[in-house]
Amino acid sequence: MSVRCTRPLTWAELVDYWAGDVPADQVGAVDEHLMACAQCTAESMRIAAITETVRGFIPPIVTDELLAVLRRRGLTARDNAMRPGERKEVLFPSAVDLLIHRLSGMPLDDAERVQFRLLAESTGQLLVDVHDVPFDRAAGTVLIACQKHYAAYPPDTIADIHVHDRSGRETVHRFTILHRFESP
């Protein structure tokens, strides 16, 4: 027969614990409670699974700041620099976690909003459509974070960057990316 916890840790306390937001002077008390309480440990494991899944989520468009955080966490990323109109075959090495398509050479200094669309070149099928993506105005870049599970997409992709400027005008910059995924 299991003993019921007399002071269960709250959902918020456990989320803070797994997010690393518990004050340093309180971490020991939470650790101690979890070591002695099967009920709270079971709930903690459910929350840990959720927080780890969220931590692992990487959006299709990233910033240099987020890329730096991901690298500090141990992810390996290889850059693929491209310019508008370029068509390039790119190998995604098996030892790399992210292939960063650094789409540059676009005039973004007057951009109000940037949209990203990914299409299959051979069929025209729309694969991804993100209406408002982060961009580096000064550098004129958008960073696409290609992940290994993207191998399920067609290998011939077109990345269209739609730049909407402050006057309401839209310009489209096209990058053709031919993916090859290296087998482990």
Same domain for 147 and 94? yes
**Alpha-carbon torsion, ordered 127, 56, 96, 94, to 10 deg:** -70
* Domain region containing 42: 11-56
Phi, psi values for residue 12, rounded to 5°? -60, -40
Same domain for 46 and 100? no
Integer Cα distance of 101 and 99 in angstroms: 6
**pLDDT over 70 for what percent of the chain?**
95
Number of structural domains in the chain: 2
Whether residue 6 lies inside any domain: the answer is no
Same domain for 111 and 46? no
Same domain for 161 and 116? yes
At residue 2, the pLDDT reads 57
Same domain for 46 and 91? no
Whether residue 101 lies inside any domain: the answer is yes
pLDDT at residue 184 tops 90: no
Whether residue 62 lies inside any domain: the answer is no
Whether residue 2 lies inside any domain: the answer is no
Same domain for 170 and 97? yes
Mean of pLDDT values over 139-147: 94
Residue 175: helix, strand or coil by DSSP? strand
pLDDT at residue 139 tops 90: yes
Specify whether the CB–CB gap between 40 and 8 falls below 8 A.
yes
Tens-digit pLDDT profile for residues 48-92: 777 666 556 788 999 999 999 889 888 889 999 999 999 999 999
CATH code at 94? Answer: 2.60.40.3350
Mean of pLDDT values over 79-106: 94
Specify the pairing of strand 156-165 against strand 111-120.
Answer: antiparallel
Specify whether the CB–CB gap between 175 and 158 falls below 8 A.
yes
Tens-digit pLDDT profile for residues 116-136: 999 999 999 999 999 999 999
More confident residue, 152 or 117: 117
Read off the pTM: 0.70
At residue 120, the pLDDT reads 94
Same domain for 168 and 107? yes
Whether residue 63 lies inside any domain: the answer is no
